[in-house]
Homo-oligomer: A and B are copies of this chain.
């Protein structure tokens, strides 16, 4: 059987061209189109993008499909700058450094590190966006913002949530990234760049959380970047992804620094500290075992 006799594909019994056409639809994308000598991102020829749009513009274009205004890009940029690093006590950074001492190349150290930016270490920003969107949905068709925030906070507490994502920090009594970022959102609101709706929601949630508390639980970096990402129309999944792009910068910087410092198979703590064994005392392997 051959293709030129108008035959059927022996494996599928279909016309070969139909099988081929279907196979070509296996991977589909709106993002990039490539032909020999040609690359276009979201329709824009790469040679026109280079030198004309910024890196943050390109992040936005790739994720959203269109270019941002300069003011939108500036707000996203501030959130990215704020999120690049939180030091070698963070598991992601420590993992990158340890991986490097195991002979892992830069890409591998970054991969092992980025991989742990999961629900607990990389998820609170995304989860806080969902929280704000929940308040936003509560307000559909009108209603009082403070009441909606109070209701949503109560709902999460009733569900057993102890720490609402985006609020409180186990290290910083007041996260130094909160006020400068919130100020930029307020400026952008005044300029009509964003509506300010999510800044208001974030503040209402903060108020609801702190009712009746003597020791405050202020908005943290996740809570304020969640405001920004929501204001700019990103989805929660985007939120986690954009945080990862930012934190990758810190991960890379620590990887390169550890490479320069050297060290081989560097464990988490020095040998002088070690770890505590809490298992059974020495015992012999039984000579006879049950069959």
Contacts and interface: CB of A to CB of B under 8 A. Distances in A.
A275 B49 CA distance: 23
Given A81-B54, A112-B112, A244 B275 contact: no
Contact of A286 (B58, B67, B77, B120): B67
Contacts of A91: 98-99, 101-102, 265-268
A15 to B, nearest CB: 4
B41 A107 contact: no
Given A104-B118, A176-B37, A265-B121, A11 B279 contact: no
A282 B11 CA distance: 20
Nearest to A280: B43
Interface stretch (A147-155, A194-202, A252-260): A252-260
A15 B289 CA distance: 48
Interface string A232-262: 0001011011101110111011111101010
Contacts of A33: 87, 277, 279
Contact of A107 (B43, B122, B284): B122
Contact of A22 (B36, B56, B270): B270
A238 B281 CA distance: 24
A155 B16 CA distance: 45
Contacts of A248: 244-245, 248
A211 interface: no
B116 A269 contact: no
A59 interface: yes
B107 A114 contact: yes
Interface string A5-47: 1110101101111111011111111111110111111111111
Contacts of A7: 17
Contact of A81 (B49, B265, B291): B49
B3 A16 contact: yes
Contacts of A291: 69-71
A82 to B, nearest CB: 5
* Residue of A71, A95, A245 with most chain B CB atoms under a 10 A cut-off: A95
B103 A45 contact: no
A41 B85 CA distance: 8
